[in-house]
Amino acid sequence: MKLLIGISNIVDPGASFAQIRQALPAHFELITTTNFEQLSEQELSGAEILLTALVPVSAELIEKLPHLRLIQACSHGYDHIDIEAAARRAIPVCNVGSSRAEDFDVAELAMLFMLALSRRLIEAHEGLSTGVWNQPYLLSQLGLTELHGKTLGIIGLGHIGTDLAYKAHAFNMQIIYNDVAPKPEELVKPLGASYRALDALLAEADYVSVNTDLNESTVGLLNAQRLRLMKPSAFLVNTARGTIIEKEALVQALKERWIAGAAVDVFDVEPPPADHPWLHTPRLYVTPHLGGTSQEAIMRIGQAGILNAFRLLQGEPLQDIVNGVQPAH
């Protein structure tokens, strides 16, 4: 059995390759890379399973793999995979959604962003570290707030969004959400969560967290028109995918104070170039795609991907198929 393993340089590929090697039987042949396009024909030949952690899988690559039986995304997101090309070849594409491998990690990061924004943590640190006691400025010019009693609007109440809602509920936040359709009552009732149309959510929420998938309908979902709907006192958090928010619109929203602040863990290009506008916009906190990269999360993600590969080999149903293709046994 031959597996292709691709792990992005965004994380620590060396440690992850070692973890996967240890988890698989010794007779499995592993070809590891940070870029599938750099593999030779000999390295690609005979591969039946492909695991990818944010390494692009193009239609051209898929066509070079005639024996391929499964493409497994070791992540919630799968926008780096040409799922339509895989479907044309009747190859299932799966993510790790139901494993909850990333849920706690990404939801904790979103909570961290909200807490940091509410107390202007970055500005406070930057001022004090340069010898300036800037509490008066923070109070009078930026404002310090609590999460207690505020309204959190979650765009995408999937696995991560739901875990975030539970965490925010513990802070006594009111939860509203938007998704493709209202969720079952048994899911949202423990949270006291209420469905809203997207524009209504943006207008009502004190904090907006983006947790939806990236697809054709969500690219540029938060454009200038929608960002203008938010309260001037509201904060925006994105731990999903960078292109869900229009890049220039977010810069304008912050410079013209349509919103009070924002925090993003994801960019349209990763790593972003040095002149990326989000790196130089006041009141915009940025991190280098830390969601899903804790030691615990990386371990769970790798395990979830490997387990699905074993399901395929054992003739068991695959979990989290995202392109509607069932495996041929």
Contact 101/303 with Cβ under 8 angstroms?
Answer: yes
Is residue 246 part of the annotated active site? The answer reads no
Identify the active-site residue in 48, 270, 276, 311.
Answer: 270
Longest dimension (CA), the chain: 67
27 is catalytic: no
> What is residue 278's DSSP assignment?
G
CA-CA distances (angstroms) from residue 13 to 8, 34, 52, 56, 109? 7, 7, 11, 15, 22
- Given 241, 246, 283, 300, which residue is catalytic? 241
Q: How far apart are CA 297 and CA 256, in angstroms?
A: 37
Which is the catalytic residue, given 69, 226, 289, 300?
Answer: 289
Q: Which of 59, 60, 63, 61 is nearest to 6 (CA)?
A: 61
Alpha-helical regions (H) of the chain: 13-23, 41-44, 59-63, 83-88, 103-118, 121-129, 135-137, 159-170, 185-188, 198-204, 224-227, 247-255, 295-313
Q: Cα separations (Å) of 49 from 41, 46, 323?
A: 16, 9, 16
Q: Determine which helix (DSSP H) or strand (DSSP E) holds 207, and give its type and residue range.
A: strand 207-210
Residue 68 neighbours by CB under 8 Å, 6+ apart: 47, 48, 49, 50, 62, 89, 91
Q: Is 100 a catalytic residue?
A: no
Any idea which residues carry the catalytic annotation?
A: 241, 270, 289
